[in-house]
């Protein structure tokens, strides 16, 4: 008879060998035992591998790759559910595992016997290894060094503690933002206050009020509602209330002052990142981060951002002056979105809201899939017989034209409570082709669109359409990879400042007339987007391009300077750094109490620390890559094939600059981006 704990482990859905996670069966109490079991087995296996007498790629590296794969596919549904179906129980289980995982990863990366084994493999087998295999080993050696393998024991221990605390603080940051977002709502009883808001938002607010036994309307702080209020609401007090609630989330200001304040969390995150970088003898965290990036130095990044600011500043100033002239008064931060929308409507007789009826989600998806099918010779089909975490989630398989399976993905499209805001693609299962077995890639695509109404599908704005194309571009990068080793397959091992290339590249298609025709179908009449509206929409692409560019540069410079200029004696100086950057690049006035940094999850909780510049960096690559398509025809198969073979299928298996040069025949050129935005 088996001991009861063995029985429990055998029945643990997280440890079951299934091609897809059994979401419906996963309970918070499964998480920690599964992770402990897996880590214990992993440690035992690493011990064996580190002691192999004659280390070879097949005997050591492949099994380590298998361990990465196993752990990441077990943990993936847990961290995913924590983001999209957050609950108290799951949050506790998730948090209990973070220190275990962090300690395991640091121990593995600091293992000197394993490091020596990898070094021996390069020495003995280096010349006979294939290019991809060589890169697996070299990248692993680099990561050993970046985890402090060469440090003395005391520093090693300290590095491990720092990594562990960082993991916990980053999770705390995200929790504070989610809780602050969930906690705030506005109860409206006077219909006049809703003037300007679209029907879908209003009826959702009415449903939410009813659900809570209230009269009138309950507006929550989910992303679609927030965006809709600050763009469309005629009531200035309503816009101001939303702007204030949104930009003071998790801070020492605003409606929930101090309740989920991220200020000390940010301070500690920045202090510990700096300490980790110093332990490895980098001058600061930005330099440490650049060790794995396409950009080579702090100066190169700052010069790049400043060059863009130089190009866009005058355009942005002019746009803002025009906007104030149009409004006939000085504008506050919560007026800008509203008057920009009014100006855009008057200038182009078109608005994001008026576009919604033309973009029902099913039609947009069909058109998006057609783009991918035409470009990359694949087929995408829906399957509804797999386990999902919510009834709104859909599942698709992607296969080659000849019917060979390539991968699959989930789409979780709508905003709902307890779901993190924003949109992202994440790995569910990574691709592997190892002696120990094979797996095809599986992705999660997550968005926060306004949900369907009672008798109609979800209707997207064109901004939403861009978001969907963007995340799908990441998805293609993950799914179309042909790299066999988990550490370099798909988006794994890709330099962070090159990772937004496929996503921003694909956004270009959502602007193309052929594609606009295929993704649009009016909900009432079935008509595609009329040509006149298409032309108007296209004209809006460069609308306020200068202001938007300066805003992105503000975020990027703030992030980069915060990490590059950290001073241990004076602390993070978040407000001071932000103030300096705003002085340099901000065009729109910002109220003193704006605390956007406190909910800036990209850099405090996500992977964009000292890396927000990556959006602009990769946007240059994407615009220049798309220009190659414009030169040869946007559906030209030869060009698409080259893009697929040089960039998409390669994952992290080659240097991003080499890959770009192979595709484009030259180095990236910033002018394509400026031209695209009408700033050149």
Q: What is the DSSP letter of 595?
A: -
Tell the smallest beta-carbon distance from residue 499 to Zn ion (Å).
Answer: 7
CB of 494 to Zn ion, least distance (A): 12
Residue 503 touching Zn ion (CB under 5 A): yes
SS3 363: helix
Buried b (16+ CB within 10 A) or exposed e, 95-125: bebbeebbbbbbbbbbbeebbebbeebbeeb
Q: Give backbone dihedrals phi and psi of 180, rounded to 5 degrees, phi first.
A: -65, -35
- CB 28 within 8 Å of CB 92: yes
Structure tokens at 114: 């394993």
Task: Count CA within 13 A, CB hemisphere, residue 28.
Answer: 13
Residue 500 or 624 with smaller CB distance to Zn ion: 500
CB of 607 to Zn ion, least distance (A): 10
CA dist 443 and 557 (Å) reads: 31
Task: Compute the least distance from the CB of residue 449 to Zn ion, in Å.
Answer: 16
Helix (H, G, I), strand (E, B) or coil at 653: coil
Which lies closer to Zn ion via its Cβ, residue 63 or residue 422? 422
Residue 62 or 500: the one with the smaller Cβ distance to Zn ion is: 500
Structure tokens at 533: 């509206």
* Of 62, 471, 500, 619, catalytic: 471
Q: How far is the CB of 633 from Zn ion (least distance, A)?
A: 26
By beta-carbon proximity to Zn ion, the closer residue of 225 and 503 is 503
- Tokens representing 96 are 């209990």
d(CA 657, CA 680): 24
Stretch that binds Zn ion, among 306-314, 326-334, 502-510, 529-537 (CB under 5 A): 502-510
Q: Residue 412 or residue 500: which is nearer to Zn ion going by CB? A: 500
Which residues have C-beta within 8 Å of that of residue 380, sequence separation ≥ 6? 369, 372, 373, 396, 397, 398
Q: Which stretch binds Zn ion (CB under 5 A): 17-25, 209-217, 461-469, 500-508?
A: 500-508
Q: Which stretch binds Zn ion (CB under 5 A): 16-24, 78-86, 503-511, 621-629?
A: 503-511
CA dist 426 → 378, 488, 589 (Å): 21, 15, 35
Q: In this structure, how many other beta carbons lie within 10 angstroms of the beta carbon of residue 545? A: 19
Give which of 513, 506, 505 is closest to 369, Cα–Cα: 506
Q: Which stretch binds Zn ion (CB under 5 A): 114-122, 300-308, 475-483, 497-505?
A: 497-505
Site string for Zn ion, 457-496 (x = CB under 5 A): ----------------------------------------
- Tell me whether residue 287 is one of the annotated catalytic residues: no
- Which CB sits closer to Zn ion, 295 or 445? 445
Which of the residues 656 through 675 are near Zn ion (CB under 5 A)? none
The nearest distance, CB 423 to Zn ion, in angstroms, is 8
Q: Which two tokens stand for residue 299?
A: 């100066």
As a whole number of angstroms, the distance between CA 90 and CA 526 comes to 43
- Residues that bind Zn ion (rule: CB under 5 A) add up to a total of 2
Nearer to Zn ion, 302 or 506 (CB): 506
Rounded least distance, CB 618 to Zn ion, Å: 8
Q: Which amino acids are annotated catalytic? A: 471
Q: Which residues bind Zn ion (CB under 5 A)?
A: 500, 503
């Amino acid at each position: 008879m088996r001991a009861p704990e063995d029985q429990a482990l055998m029945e643990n859905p997280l440890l079951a060998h299934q091609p897809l996670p059994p979401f419906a069966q996963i309970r918070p109490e499964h998480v920690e035992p599964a992770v402990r079991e897996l880590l214990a087995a992993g440690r035992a296996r690493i011990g064996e591998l580190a002691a192999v007498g004659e280390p070879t790629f097949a005997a050591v590296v492949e099994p380590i790759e298998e361990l990465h794969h196993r752990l990441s596919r077990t943990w993936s549904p847990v961290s995913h559910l924590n983001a999209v179906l957050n609950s108290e129980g799951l949050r506790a289980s998730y948090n209990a595992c973070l220190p275990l995982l962090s300690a395991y990863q640091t121990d593995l990366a600091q293992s000197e016997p394993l490091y020596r084994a990898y070094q021996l493999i390069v020495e003995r087998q280096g010349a006979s290894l294939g290019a991809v295999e060589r890169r697996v080993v070299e990248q692993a050696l680099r990561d050993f060094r970046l985890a402090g393998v060469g440090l003395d024991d005391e520093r090693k221990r300290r590095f491990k503690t720092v990594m562990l605390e960082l993991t916990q603080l980053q999770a705390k940051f995200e929790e504070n933002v989610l809780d602050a977002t969930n906690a705030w709502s506005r109860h409206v009883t006077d219909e006049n206050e809703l003037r300007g808001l679209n029907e879908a938002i209003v009826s959702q607010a009415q449903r939410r009020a009813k659900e809570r036994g209230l009269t009138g309307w309950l507006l929550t702080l989910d992303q679609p509602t927030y965006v809709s209020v600050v763009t469309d609401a005629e009531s200035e007090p309503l816009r101001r209330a939303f702007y204030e609630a949104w930009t003071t989330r998790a801070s020492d200001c605003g409606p929930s002052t101090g309740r989920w304040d991220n200020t000390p969390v940010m301070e500690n995150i920045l202090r510990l990142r700096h300490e980790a970088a110093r332990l490895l003898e980098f001058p600061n965290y930005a330099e440490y981060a650049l060790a794995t990036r396409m950009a080579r130095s702090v100066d190169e990044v700052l010069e790049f951002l400043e060059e863009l600011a130089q190009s866009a500043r005058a355009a942005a100033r002019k746009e803002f002056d025009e906007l104030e002239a149009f409004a006939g008064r000085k504008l506050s931060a919560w007026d800008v979105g509203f008057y920009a929308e009014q100006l855009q409507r008057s200038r182009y007789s078109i608005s994001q809201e008026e576009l919604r009826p033309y973009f029902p989600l099913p039609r947009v998806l069909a058109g998006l899939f057609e783009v991918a099918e035409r470009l990359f010779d694949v087929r995408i089909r829906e399957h509804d017989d797999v386990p999902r975490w919510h009834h709104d989630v859909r599942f698709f398989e992607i296969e080659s034209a000849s019917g060979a399976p390539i991968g699959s993905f989930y789409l979780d499209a709508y905003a709902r409570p307890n779901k993190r805001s924003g949109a992202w693609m994440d790995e569910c299962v990574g691709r592997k082709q190892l002696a120990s077995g094979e797996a095809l890639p599986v992705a999660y695509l997550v968005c926060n669109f306004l949900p369907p109404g009672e008798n109609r599908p979800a209707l997207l704005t064109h901004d939403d359409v861009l978001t969907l194309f963007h995340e799908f571009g990441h998805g293609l990068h993950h799914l179309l990879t042909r790299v066999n080793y988990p550490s370099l397959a798909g988006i794994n091992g890709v330099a962070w400042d090159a990772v937004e290339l496929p996503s921003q590249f694909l956004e270009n298609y959502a602007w193309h007339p052929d594609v606009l025709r295929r993704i649009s179908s009016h909900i009432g009449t079935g008509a595609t987007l009329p040509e006149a509206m298409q032309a108007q929409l296209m004209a809006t692409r460069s609308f306020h391009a200068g202001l938007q560019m300066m805003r992105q540069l503000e975020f990027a410079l703030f992030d980069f300077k915060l990490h590059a200029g950290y001073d241990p004696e004076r602390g993070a100086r978040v407000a001071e750094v932000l103030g300096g950057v705003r002085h340099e690049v901000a065009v729109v006035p910002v109220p003193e109490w704006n605390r956007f940094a406190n909910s800036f999850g990209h850099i405090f909780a996500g992977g964009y620390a000292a890396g927000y510049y990556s959006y602009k960096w990769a946007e240059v690559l994407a615009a220049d890559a798309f220009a190659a398509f414009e030169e040869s025809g946007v559906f030209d198969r030869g060009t698409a094939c080259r893009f697929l073979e040089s960039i998409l299928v390669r994952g992290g298996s080659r240097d991003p600059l080499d890959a770009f040069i192979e595709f484009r025949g030259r180095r990236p050129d910033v002018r394509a981006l400026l031209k695209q935005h009408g700033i050149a």
